[in-house]
Amino acid sequence: MRKAQSLPEAAQEELGRDVLLRITELEELRAKIRVGLEELEAGKGGPLDMHKIKAEARRQYGARP
Summarize pLDDT for 5-59 with one digit per residue, the tens. Answer: 999 999 999 999 999 999 999 999 999 999 999 999 999 999 999 999 999 999 9
Number of domains the chain contains: 1
What is the separation of C-alpha 43 from the centre of its chain, rounded to a whole number of angstroms?
Answer: 25
**Which residue type sits at 11?**
A
pLDDT-based confidence at residue 63 (cuts at 50, 70, 90): confident
Q: Give the distance between the most distant pair of CA atoms in the chain.
A: 53
Give me the domain span that covers residue 30: 2-61
